[in-house]
Each structure stands twice: as structure tokens, then as C-alpha cells.
Structure 1
Amino acid sequence: MPLTFTLDPAVTPALRDGILDLWADVSNAGGAVGFVAPVEPETIRPELVKHFAGMAEGRTRLLVGHDEDGRVAATAFFSFNTHRLMTHWVWLYTVMVHPRHQGRGYGRDLLAAAADAARAFEGIEAIRLTCRGGLGLERFYGSCGYKEVGRIPDAIRVAPGDDRDDVIMLLPLA
């Protein structure tokens, strides 16, 4: 059964806790979403609060996917550029699908829903995202229409002696 996507849902305690649990579960399953396993939801909470603050200020928007049981199963945050020369594209970050839903095509569904949402944002012509090298994520994003437009070698230190490339991807919306 497909996920149900909502742009800009009401931030309720259930949504907050659902995103925290999703983020921890994705991180602990090896997902590249800003933390390294093992991580607890309480460690992630300050980062989520920053995301919510951006939403309250109008700089960030949230796309959330719920599964058939109503649980948070996927997220993607949009961050708008404030620089006057870069307002025609948006960042997509904290892109996650719960591990229990991996292999069902929900990642593609999430990225398609994100592209549809971004097309409705006034003046937005492209989506940019970055991903951690070494996990094959750039191949996945590439299969969804994103193009690699840059790479910063060894920019992400996962652990001592384990540096990964920061891969910059772009999806033109036209």
C-alpha cells in the first residue's frame, strides 16, 4: 500500500515523536542522515528542533509520508535560499524512509512527491541535495533524475579514518 504524503503538516507531539523515531531508526540501520549509529531520539531532538524553528520562520517546509497504519514512514525537508541570487532553487535534506519500508519503492515515491511539491513553490526551478559517498546513494538519486554536479572529497568524517565524499546532486524541475 502506498504512503500518504502531506506537505506542511501540523506539528503535533505525535508527528514530532514519529520523526524522532524515524530518524533514529534510519540512522541506526546505517542511513546517512547526519548521525552515526548508535543514536537515541534524544540525541537527535536538538537537530529536529532546528528544523521546526526553520519551519516557524518560513525558511523550511516539511513533506511527511505516513504508512497505512498512520505512522511516520518518510520525510524530506525543503530549505529555501535567502541569498537573492539563489532563490530559484531549494535544498532537500533529511530525506528518509523507514527501514521497515525499504525495497517497496517508497524512496522513489518520496522523491517524486518532493519534486511535485517543489514545482508548486513560486519561482523554484531546481532541487539540490547532498548525500554521503560510499553508500551508493548517488546512484539511487541518479536513477530518480538527479545529476551529480559536484563532489567534495573526504568532507564527511563518519569516524576516525572513515572519511566520505560529500556528493552534490541537482534535479531541474522544468
Structure 2
Amino acid sequence: MTAHETARAPAFAQIARTQDATPAVRRDLRDCWTAVIEAGGAVVPMGCPLPPESSPNVEPALDEIIRGLSPQRSRILLAGVDGALAGWVLLRREPHPLGVHCGTVNHLQTHVRFRGTGVGAALMRRLPEIARGEMGLERLRLTARAGLGLEDFYRRAGWTEIGRWPGALRLAPGDDRDEILMSLTL
């Protein structure tokens, strides 16, 4: 049976402190991120080549994310299915004093073994509860790459498109994509 046929509702966990990112959690996050990039996902960190050039090295970006974890500033929400990491997302509080009531969502990923099972949607349903209830945030924002249908996914999760930056993302010569700006009021 495939993961799609056997997947159950995910169990959620959070990593809110650097010390909570055990070597096993780091490995699972790295493996998920690498698999998503190699499958063409839109979560390529700075300094990594775009596929199919070579296998990405996400370690420096992951280390930076983990170093920045703090219960009131930055958290990783994990979704697990049958003991395996099925997906994850990063939630960060805006550091500027004028925007501390806002948060930014980055790196929503569903491991390729669990695509189509609702893991990404489940993460997006759980995320506002954590943002509002545990971090006291009032509004969230994210950006998405046009051309992959991501804006439709986020709209179904309650997000509103508030603008586009035309041609802001260059995937290859002649392949410029809009960066889509989205917002969610909590």
C-alpha cells in the first residue's frame, strides 16, 4: 500500500527551542526538505542550486532556522504520520516593534511520500491556532511562487491574496514567475 492509501490524520509537535532539535529531528527535517526540492518543490533555500543541477545542501539554512528558535519568536510545527515526519512549517514573529503582532509563514513542506494525503492542509489548519493562541499573533503573511497552483491551496486554507510582484522569481532564463503575497487575519 502507498502512503496515500494508508495515511492517517497527522499528529502534531512543535520545536520552539534550539535544544529541542535533536539530531533525529534535524535529520528528518533535512531529508524532507531535500526530497521536496528534488521533486520540484518551491522551498529552495538561499545558496542551493535549483534542481536538477545537483542534490541540494539544506544544512546551512536548516541550522540558521534552528538557531533562531524561541517560543515567542520562532517555531517549527511538525506533522507526523505513523512515526514518520510527513511535513513541517516555520512560523516566525515579525521582529520590528511596529509589526510584532504579525507573523511570517515559511517553508511549508509535505514529504513526497505523503503528498496528496492532506498533511499540508492539516498543517495550515493547525498553524493559526498556535500563532494566535500560543504566540499572541493577530495576522500572518506568506509568499508563494506563481505557476504551481499554490495560491489556490492557500485560498482554500482561508488566506487572501493581497498582491503580486511580477517576475520577481527567476527559475531559469526566460522562466520568471510572480511572487504572490498572501495574508491571513487571525
Same fold (TM over 0.5): yes
Cross-structure match for 1:66: 80
Contact 2:161/2:183 (<8 A) preserved: yes
Does the Cα contact within 8 Å between 2:79 and 2:119 map onto a contact in 1? no
1:166 aligns with 2:173: no
> Counterpart of 1:92?
105
Q: Secondary structure at the match of 1:104?
A: coil
- Partners of 2:60 and 2:75 lie apart in 1 by 17
1:138 to 143, 148, 151: 151
Question: Which one-letter code corresponds to 2:55 in the other structure?
Answer: E
Alpha-carbon shift at residue 138 of structure 1 (Å):
0.3
* CA drift at 1:56: 5.4
Distance (Å, rounded) in 1 between the aligned partners of 2:142 and 2:179: 10
Quick check: 1:79 aligned with 2:89? no
Q: How far does the alpha carbon of each residue in 1:49-104 deviate from its partner, in whole angstroms, 9 at most, with x for none?
A: 11011115963211011111x12111111111111111111001010011111111
- From 9, 13, 16, the equivalent of 2:26 is 16
**Which runs of no fewer than 5 residues in structure 1 stay unpaired?**
none
Identity of aligned residues (%): 37
Say whether the 8 Å CA contact 1:90–1:128 is kept in structure 2.
yes
| C-alpha distance 57-5 of structure 1, shift in aligned 2 (>3 A) | closer
2:87 and 2:68 map into 1 onto residues whose CA distance is: 19
- Cα offsets for 1:31-55 (capped at 9, x unmatched): 10125323535x1111101101111
> Are the aligned partners of 1:75 and 1:95 in contact in 2 as well (CA < 8 Å)?
yes
RMSD over equivalenced CA pairs, Å: 1.7
CA distance in 2, matches of 1:45, 1:77: 16
Counterpart Cα distance in 1 of 2:105 and 2:88 = 10
- Normalised by the length of structure 1, the TM-score is 0.91
Asked if structure 2 preserves the Cα contact closer than 8 Å seen for 1:5 and 1:64, the reply is yes
Q: How far 1:8 sits from its partner (Å)?
A: 1.9
SS in structure 2 at match of 1:55: coil
Question: Structure 1 residues 56 and 49 mapped into 2: Cα distance closer, same or farther (>3 Å)?
Answer: farther
Structure 2 equivalent of residue 32 of structure 1: 42
Give per-residue Cα distances to partners, 1:103-151, cap 9 Å, x unaligned.
1111110101111111213431111111101111001100110000111
Query: Which residue matches 2:5?
Result: none
**TM-score, normalised by the number of residues in structure 2:** 0.86
